[in-house]
Structure 1
Amino acid sequence: MDVNGLPFRLVAGAADFGLGPEALGDSVARHLSLAERTGHLRLACEQHVPSLDENEMFARGQVSQPSPIADAFGSFAWWNAAEKRIEASGFLPGSIQIGLAGDSPVSPSDMMLGMDDAVYAARDGAVVRHDLRGRWEDIETRHQTLSASLLAPAPAGGGWALDRTARKLMRIAGSPLRFADLRQSDPAAFGPAEPNQDPPRLTIAPGSTLRNTLDPVAMAASPSGSLAVLAWESGKDAVLLLHTGKHFVEYLRLAGLRFPYSIAWFGENRVAVMASDGAKPAQQAFVYRIEGAPQPDSAQPPEGRIYLLRGAWAGGFCNALHDVPRHLQSSETGPPEAVRPLRALSGDTFARTGSVLIGPLDSRTEGCIWHRFYTEAALAEGTEIELALLASDEASQPALPEGPDDPAWARHLLLPEPHRSPDPDVSAAAWLEGASEIAHAPPLLQCPPRPGRAGLFDCLIQAPGRKVRRVEGRYLWIALTMYGDSRGSPELAALRVYSQRRSWRDRYLPAFYAETLGGEAAAAAGPATPHDFLERFLHSYEGVLTPLEGRIAGSWQLTDPATAPDAALPWIGQWIGIGRREGEAPAHLRQRLLAAPHTAMLGGTCGGLLAALELATGGRMVRGGRLDRGRRIPAPGELAIARSGDRSVRALMLTVEPDGNCVFLSGGAVTRGDIVAIEGFRLRRTFATILGAGLADENDPLTLGMAVSGNSFVGDTLILGDAARDELLALYRPEIDAVQADAEAVENFYARLAWRVLVLVRGVEEEAEFRRLSGIVAQEIPAHIEPQVLHARSPLIVGAASLLGLDTYLMDKPAVKTAQINGSRVGAGDVVAGSGRLDARADGPVPSAPHAHADGPREVWAGDGFTLSALASQAGASRRIERYVWMWDKES
């Protein structure tokens, strides 16, 4: 709503622009798409329908062979049909064999590389797992009634298997037991009856059946887990299916391709396919966008970039989880020689026109007069955007405009300046200098403003060719059309349409200036009446004054930490004594300012220290939630559990407001459990047995009335196991050794614990970050408290872990790290493991690889110059860079 009280409707994002899954009919965007990086609406990147001499026999031969596989380090493997074995290469010349247990004369129907560094092969209907790290013996998994034919990995482990004959999908679940050691089990200890609680298995997926007329030939999974199946259908173009988790959806048909034989995901919203051209792979791969609602009866052309397949081996794409599809490269007759990512050879080729019907926008007022619209757009040379508007008091969808002269629709144009509309009677939007007409709001357009080309555009809504040019009706429909020259495309980030116009003419001028025509006479064709011209003329001034008034009325936002720009935050902090720390991100400073009214009362307390560390490590202030009246109210600075919908999070309580709402912090290292602060007096029981001191006085204020026996009590809820206790005591070992025989020294030692705080920090590897956190502790701690900030190798866990051997840590378990020379400690959790590469020869001593890095702008306007630099590139060990070879690589 603007300063005059006029409401607006925002149109932005995939759903509003007809690219969401719920779009139907004319509301489905035609030849439009969202730019991947910015999310702007633009013309679809398209090329002509492929014209290939597809060879069905060659394609079926490729489908019958297993897919090659490749890891992230340049190693690859393939099925050698002549030798009946899996071969791997990529690190050294030649190849080595990857042997499967129980080698069978039956060739695998498919292979994949799982996220667990295991090779999966579908052989004789079963799935065989081979671990590249040697953690378990090869294991074969079989379904009782179905046969595994096609495979695809899943990001969470395991994968998918498809029975081509039965057309049913299965889930590869479970994992084998890792090889433990040679120790015999203790007969006096309890153990599970079934050692493996999650055994490998194949289970039928929900909604897994394809219709009988489809012949599935290839399957692939994206890095996030989306599953795509490529299928043939007799006499029709190939069809692409997506599995939603509940059932298969026929998404689109591949225009011009009847026998594509391989598929791979390109990121999360595109798939690439291989097809034949004669008895060999085609010279290019074809990429299709996965965007918007399914269109099973619509044959879509591939996107407009040309993806060249240079010397592609005939085996198809590598079956593994990669952001960019990979294929093997070879000579015409030899085995594969290298693995190559799929790269674009050309720039974008856009559709020349694209359209979508947007609406209805409901003003909730009968006979509403629609006022003006603002767009955040970028217009390249040779492009334009047309907005045709139609308003009605009926919500039924109207017919699309029959042409540019359709009298029912009011045309408005966005043209790059200095070009003007060829029709002087058509409204053309004007470029404005501000980022947004909304007071102090950031722009949604993700590119810098450029006069007449990019930024904010404004246009008064008016119907050309009518005597009274108002656009009236409760519901507004917008027929949006983009035009380009195939080399460039306009981009639209957002459209804001204001309704319920207040006429300055009728409000402030005498009645005889009011419009005299109405009904059909007002909508009749002809020149505008003088009264109508006067109203629109006055609104040209209103369009300038209203945003100015809005910025003045919203000037308070410049002093509110929640809405102030980043540059104003240090100035705001000066008023309350909060300065910006060196290297502090603006987002962290903003949260400190927002939480300042609540953290001020915690100054000098352990809760205040925890709040400062929480905010410094990404914590955010949250206002909301209600107290559970049946439980104790958490004190300010105390850790608690907060619930948001169905999700529970750890929170650091700040305040309970009078209306019952809670204010707390969450999302930082303290609530994640990576930082723990232990007040020294809580360690008195831990040292009691060691030093021989008695703690019989339950009224001692330093013991908080705790009478629980034992020497492993830390804080109110945490218990240390043997290993953790030994590590903690080692921090105080010099003082313990010095005072064990001196009773007076024991008392002095306990007294000093009262003004000590131990801060344990886990998961911070960079020394600069550790020093930053130490500086915050030193700044926030009271003058009479002695802090110690130390690295913690593992988290403090709830007592059941040390007593029962169960890991009850509430957060994500730290990943196991590979042991490194001069970097790992024996017994500290790091393990000796192979690299998991397909070419096992890479596990030996290897020189560091060179690293190519190009610096330059992400985007430039057509015709503008730019500079690229390769100075950040690095040669391998004991080598130097002699020359630079530049190649066009649009994806990077």
Structure 2
Amino acid sequence: MDSNGTRFLLLDRAADFRNAGGSCAWDADARAFTLVRHDEPRLPRLAAADALQAWADAGPWILDDYGQIARLSADRRSIEAAVGWPDAPWNPLRAHRDPTAPLAADLEALTLDPVDAPTACAFTDLHLGGSGLLAASWMADDGTRAGVTLVHLRARWQRHLEIASPEAPAFRPVRLWVDASDRVWVASDTHLTLTIGAPLDPPYVPRPDRFEPVSVEPSPPRVRWAQALPPLRRINAIAVVATRLLILAEASGSTDGAPQQILLVRALSDDPTAALTALPLPTGLPFASDIAALDDGRAILLPPLETGVTRAQRRDCPVITLDDPPALAAERWPRRSEAAVRFVRHRDNQVRHLANDGVVRLFRLAQARFLPHGRALLTPVFDAGTPDTVWDRLILDACIPAGCSVMVEAQAADTPGGFADTFHRQPLPLALTTPDIPFATPRGTLHEILLQRSSGAARELRGRYLRLRLTLGGDGRHSPAVYALRIWYPRFSWQAHYLPDHFHQQQPADPEPVPAGRAANGADLRERLFASFSGLLTPIEDRIAASEQLLDPLAVPAPWLANLAAMLGTRLRPHWPETRQRRWLAALGRLQPHKGSYGALCQALDILTEGGVSRGEVVPVELFRLRRTLATVLGLSMDDARHPLTLGTGQSGNSLVGDTLVLSEDHAVEILALFAPELARPGTERQAVEHFFDRYARRLTVILHGPAQSLRGVIEEALPELVPAIVQWNVLVSEHPFVLGLSPLLRIDTYLETQPPPKPVRLDTTRLGRGDLIYNPVALLPEQAGSLPPPESEGDRA
């Protein structure tokens, strides 16, 4: 609401710009209302029989974290890997020997055994996902057995699991997928199965001379369930997105000459009764040999490229929405070349394909093409809440490039169904230099439109309800972008408030439809003239009325924070996040009277670390509080109810738990000698203690624990201004659990937190037994894994 009491409706979401047309839409990436992209995908049109043959001959490809690729061998009875493509030699994938397999032939086979399919079986598909779990489905040559081979690339174990269930007695696996939770989804032409579990590594060997658990493996690899699929001719591909499982298949009535592909969508849940929704693909799409998920609402297909001169011209992959029914997106996703007709799978689920020169990520073509013209009638009807409301103006936060335009049409009525058939065309948007909301920062450029009727003696746009129609124009390469739209109402009439009655509008508005070309009367002309001055002067009045927000740290615009800090006599670091700057200025008044005290230091560090002191991740310790040992020597009673290292867990100051228990005078001298050996003489104990207190009275240590270790630079930068100059301070990083005073004595973790993962072993840094571990890389060929993953290719961006 402005200073005149005028309110506004805000449109800045996809729901606010809903419309029935297909030429304009809300762009979620740009968060703006734009013309629809109209790229024409250049899709390959390979003959159906040739595309089916290419799909039948294609094999799976996977990529590990180090740029190594793997495939099935030519006879499909083993898995082979290579460091690069296409010239690197292929080596068999190796893992620990399956304990259920026959005895090893030699020592090498006993250590690491090649990953082979069971006897008289051949692999059908391959996938890598989750925590590094590789799964390969297999089937016997005579079709009597089927199963999955599981290999964990980090732990290097392997297991053969046979898939047999009453629901799927003749299971023939075609495609499989390993999701982020290490669950294996295996699909055949008739059923979908879910495999879960992992074996113990290393295998547990029971002994007859002791009690053994009833279940040796708590969660062994097993088939959870099998779900029947609707009648299909065959499965073509499978993919998983965050919440859904996608199955690309051929319908039951499909033929080799005219394949009809459909998409089965299922919730990614453990429920065996979850519904499978069959979605028909958009008409005109070529046969796709593979599918991948771009996000939760879109998928990309991989059609085989043509042969001949058109191979390099039509190399785009179609993108479809996962709506019901799916629609073809007007986007171009070109491939560089084609060395395989299946996507290359990686644990991150990014879309990659195998080109002639290696594995390449797939990107949308950056050069966009838009429709040259678009009109959108916004579906929402805007309600002012009061009949006979005079709608004031529109403020567009938009970017309108050269050669583009935005035109607005409007109509008003007192009932939702009382709108006329005609819209009133509004004047062209006028750029503003002063925002309509005080101190607001628009995303684009603000434009103003004074709402009015296009003709008639009185041109006020009156009615409780308002409808808008937007017309966007572009040059084909660019599109206007409307980030937000504010509808101000009701109009504050300067004429009615400040001029005598005979200057007011005496003539009612013409009924709809308005006669074309009818001139406006003098009162209407004055009304719109004053409204133009109001649009210029009211924002200035609003800035004056809202000027107090420039003194509020939580409301001041971000560019003014430095000025406010200068007024308060402090300086903000430009690299601080905006939230931290605002909290610091808001607390400055409370901290200033207690500056230099322990309490003010804790409050300041809590602000700088986003609550690290409150969470116990940052602990400022005054070193004179570490005098428990010397106080015990003298037999003093110390109350540690607020001690930062024990938090009130000690019972008294007369003893310490553990091997350092001090009770006698002889032992007291020994303890004293550890701190001040030059003063450890009979009769000088009290003087030594006082000297010790003097030395440590003005020392401070800030202990960082857990996530707060990354804030060390921020704390060291702020401590010189927070701590008195006579106090010596230092910052220490601790990996031990808090409370520090209890952890080394009782060996218990008294600080509730998420257990951080172990770090890899580092030369000259790691201490034996301190938590660092030697990790096996998630690599197909660990002996050839590099120290860093390969740089990610940018694909065919333009």
* 1:717-728 to 2 correspondences below 5 Å: none
* 1:582-601 to 2 correspondences below 5 Å: 583-600=575-592
* 1:363-442 to 2 correspondences below 5 Å: 363-395=384-416, 408-412=422-426, 427-434=427-434, 436-442=435-441
Aligned mate of 1:284, from 315, 319, 336: 315
Instruction: State the partner residue of 2:462.
Output: 472
Which one-letter code corresponds to 1:260 in the other structure?
A
Aligned mate of 1:69, from 62, 69, 72: 62
Which one-letter code corresponds to 1:259 in the other structure?
F
C-alpha change, 1:514 and 1:443, in structure 2 (3 Å) is: same
What is the rounded CA distance, in whole Å, between the counterparts of 2:150 and 2:125 in structure 1? 12
C-alpha change, 1:747 and 1:545, in structure 2 (3 Å) is: closer
Displacement, 1:75? Answer: 1.9
User: Is 1:463 aligned to 2:406, yes or no?
Assistant: no
The TM-score with structure 2 as length reference comes to: 0.77
Cα deviation digits, residues 505-560 of structure 1 (max 9, x gap): 33333333433443663653232431333322321222111222222222222222
Instruction: State the partner residue of 2:729.
Output: 787
What is the rounded CA distance, in whole Å, between the counterparts of 2:63 and 2:218 in structure 1? 31
Instruction: State the partner residue of 1:6.
Output: 6
Displacement, 1:805? Answer: 8.5
Q: Please identify, of 464-473 and 272-281, the stretch whose mean Cα deviation from structure 2 is larger.
A: 272-281
User: Is 1:836 aligned to 2:773, yes or no?
Assistant: no
Cα deviation digits, residues 737-784 of structure 1 (max 9, x gap): 3458665446765786666543222468999x6354234334323566
Query: What's the secondary structure of 1:390's corresponding residue?
Result: strand
Instruction: State the partner residue of 2:108.
Output: none
User: Is 1:273 aligned to 2:273, yes or no?
Assistant: no
Query: What's the secondary structure of 1:307's corresponding residue?
Result: coil
Which one-letter code corresponds to 2:451 in the other structure?
I
Displacement, 1:429? Answer: 0.9
Q: Please identify, of 456-465 and 82-91, the stretch whose mean Cα deviation from structure 2 is larger.
A: 82-91
C-alpha change, 1:201 and 1:792, in structure 2 (3 Å) is: farther
Instruction: State the partner residue of 1:565.
Output: 557
The answer to whether the 8 A contact 1:353-1:481 is kept is yes
Instruction: State the partner residue of 1:402.
Output: none
Structure 2 gap segments, 5+ residues each = 94-113, 140-145, 255-259, 652-656, 660-669
Cα deviation digits, residues 666-696 of structure 1 (max 9, x gap): 4xx43455423345466555x48xx97376x
Which one-letter code corresponds to 1:525 in the other structure?
P
What is the rounded CA distance, in whole Å, between the counterparts of 1:543 and 1:460 in structure 2? 9
What is the rounded CA distance, in whole Å, between the counterparts of 1:150 and 1:602 in structure 2? 68
Displacement, 1:571? Answer: 3.0
Pairwise CA RMSD: 4.6
Which one-letter code corresponds to 1:325 in the other structure?
V
Displacement, 1:237? Answer: 6.5
Cα deviation digits, residues 724-748 of structure 1 (max 9, x gap): 999xxxxxx9997345866544676
Displacement, 1:373? Answer: 0.5
* 1:853-872 to 2 correspondences below 5 Å: none
Instruction: State the partner residue of 1:715.
Output: 647
C-alpha change, 1:827 and 1:182, in structure 2 (3 Å) is: farther
User: Is 1:93 aligned to 2:88, yes or no?
Assistant: yes
* 1:771-810 to 2 correspondences below 5 Å: 771-782=713-724, 786-796=728-738, 810=752
Query: What's the secondary structure of 1:284's corresponding residue?
Result: coil
What is the rounded CA distance, in whole Å, between the counterparts of 1:361 and 1:114 in structure 2? 49
Query: What's the secondary structure of 1:2's corresponding residue?
Result: coil
What is the rounded CA distance, in whole Å, between the counterparts of 1:490 and 1:851 in structure 2? 36
Cα deviation digits, residues 174-220 of structure 1 (max 9, x gap): 554444999999989xx987676665555569xx9876579763333
What is the rounded CA distance, in whole Å, between the counterparts of 1:802 and 1:17 in structure 2? 62
What is the rounded CA distance, in whole Å, between the counterparts of 1:542 and 1:491 in structure 2? 27
The answer to whether the 8 A contact 2:353-2:362 is kept is yes
Structure 1 gap segments, 5+ residues each = 19-25, 331-336, 399-405, 413-426, 446-454, 620-665, 707-711, 727-732, 854-885
The answer to whether the 8 A contact 2:410-2:424 is kept is yes
The answer to whether the 8 A contact 1:264-1:271 is kept is yes
Query: What's the secondary structure of 2:716's corresponding residue?
Result: helix
What is the rounded CA distance, in whole Å, between the counterparts of 2:354 and 2:698 in structure 1? 65
Aligned mate of 2:547, from 518, 530, 555: 555
Aligned mate of 1:349, from 369, 383, 394: 369
Higher radius of gyration, 1 or 2 = 2
The answer to whether the 8 A contact 2:7-2:488 is kept is yes
Displacement, 1:442? Answer: 1.5
What is the rounded CA distance, in whole Å, between the counterparts of 1:609 and 1:249 in structure 2? 60
Which one-letter code corresponds to 1:440 in the other structure?
F
Instruction: State the partner residue of 2:640.
Output: 703
User: Is 1:117 aligned to 2:132, yes or no?
Assistant: yes
Instruction: State the partner residue of 2:289.
Output: 261
Displacement, 1:89? Answer: 1.8
What is the rounded CA distance, in whole Å, between the counterparts of 2:775 and 2:763 in structure 1? 13
The TM-score with structure 1 as length reference comes to: 0.70
What is the rounded CA distance, in whole Å, between the counterparts of 2:587 and 2:160 in structure 1? 55
Which one-letter code corresponds to 2:346 in the other structure?
A
Displacement, 1:572? Answer: 2.0
Displacement, 1:61? Answer: 6.0
The answer to whether the 8 A contact 1:174-1:200 is kept is yes
Displacement, 1:96? Answer: 1.6
Q: Please identify, of 796-805 and 754-763, the stretch whose mean Cα deviation from structure 2 is larger.
A: 796-805
Displacement, 1:592? Answer: 0.4
Which one-letter code corresponds to 1:68 in the other structure?
W
The answer to whether the 8 A contact 2:459-2:520 is kept is no
What is the rounded CA distance, in whole Å, between the counterparts of 1:82 and 1:487 in structure 2? 51
Instruction: State the partner residue of 1:661.
Output: none
Identity of aligned residues (%): 24
Which one-letter code corresponds to 1:444 in the other structure?
R
Displacement, 1:4? Answer: 1.5
Which one-letter code corresponds to 1:327 in the other structure?
H
What is the rounded CA distance, in whole Å, between the counterparts of 1:371 and 1:134 in structure 2? 69
Instruction: State the partner residue of 1:529.
Output: 520
Which one-letter code corresponds to 1:608 in the other structure?
A
Instruction: State the partner residue of 2:152.
Output: 131
Cα deviation digits, residues 105-158 of structure 1 (max 9, x gap): 444443222231221223356443212223544464858546665434444x32
Instruction: State the partner residue of 1:317.
Output: 343
Aligned mate of 1:339, from 359, 367, 375: 359
What is the rounded CA distance, in whole Å, between the counterparts of 2:209 and 2:590 in structure 1? 55
Instruction: State the partner residue of 1:220.
Output: 239
Which one-letter code corresponds to 1:94 in the other structure?
P
Displacement, 1:494? Answer: 0.7
Which one-letter code corresponds to 1:151 in the other structure?
L
Which one-letter code corresponds to 1:408 in the other structure?
T
Which one-letter code corresponds to 1:833 in the other structure?
Y
Which one-letter code corresponds to 2:436 in the other structure?
E
* 1:876-891 to 2 correspondences below 5 Å: 889-890=797-798
The answer to whether the 8 A contact 2:640-2:646 is kept is no
Query: What's the secondary structure of 2:317's corresponding residue?
Result: strand
What is the rounded CA distance, in whole Å, between the counterparts of 2:401 and 2:209 in structure 1? 75
Instruction: State the partner residue of 1:328.
Output: 354
